[in-house]
């Protein structure tokens, strides 16, 4: 697994509407040396990503109101300025068809929240960003 130099910050955008989950992951990511930011809707997600600097997105599927993680994933991957950013679907939605759809739309991973600890998620984020940076450096 590629290791990041200690001074290489990882900017992670968490798209999640559950305030308890947001606080849990923001706190754990900071403890693990990541620089996280959270939002809960498509508009803010795209504004943050278009502003630049994010290395990865963790994206819930089921969001409040009519917000939908699959729609947000599609928007990210169809935009020339954001399509290069790795997106990890991060949900408790476990249907196989949903996972297949997310991968087809460009998600690099699909994590079931109930199956992992926040530390494991932070480690997976580091691994994905490390591989992404390594491939872009070639």
Picking from 71, 107, 113, the residue whose alpha carbon sits closest to that of residue 86 is: 107
User: What is residue 93's predicted lDDT score, i.e. its pLDDT?
Assistant: 85
Reference 54, options 135, 137, 128, 1; nearest CA is 128
Query: Which pTM value belongs to this model?
Result: 0.92
Q: Please, where are the H alpha helices in the chain?
A: 19-31, 42-51, 69-78, 96-105, 118-137
> Tens digits of per-residue pLDDT, 75-134?
999 999 999 999 999 999 889 999 999 999 999 999 999 999 999 999 999 999 999 998
Domains of the chain in sequence order: 11-132 (3.40.50.2300)
Report d(CA 8, CA 101) in Å as an integer: 32
**Nearest by Cα to 125 from 20, 4, 44:** 4
pLDDT of res. 3? 46
- What does the longest C-alpha to C-alpha distance in the chain come to? 42
Task: With beta carbons less than 8 A apart as the criterion, state whether 61 and 47 touch.
Answer: no
- pLDDT computed for residue 40 by the predictor: 96
Q: Are 104 and 120 in contact (CB under 8 A)?
A: no
């Amino acid at each position: 697994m590629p290791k990041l130099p200690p001074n290489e910050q990882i900017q992670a955008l968490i798209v999640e509407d559950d305030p308890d989950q947001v606080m849990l992951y923001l706190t754990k990511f900071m403890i693990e040396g990541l620089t996280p930011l959270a939002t809960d809707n498509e508009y803010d997600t795209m504004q943050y990503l278009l502003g630049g600097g994010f290395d990865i997105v963790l994206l819930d599927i089921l969001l409040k109101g009519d917000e939908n993680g699959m729609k947000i994933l599609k928007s990210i991957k169809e935009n020339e300025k954001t399509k290069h950013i790795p997106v990890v679907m991060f949900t408790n939605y476990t249907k196989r068809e949903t996972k297949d759809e997310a991968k087809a739309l460009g998600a690099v991973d699909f994590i079931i929240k109930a199956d992992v600890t926040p530390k494991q998620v932070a480690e997976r984020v580091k691994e994905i960003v490390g591989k992404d940076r390594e491939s872009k450096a070639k």
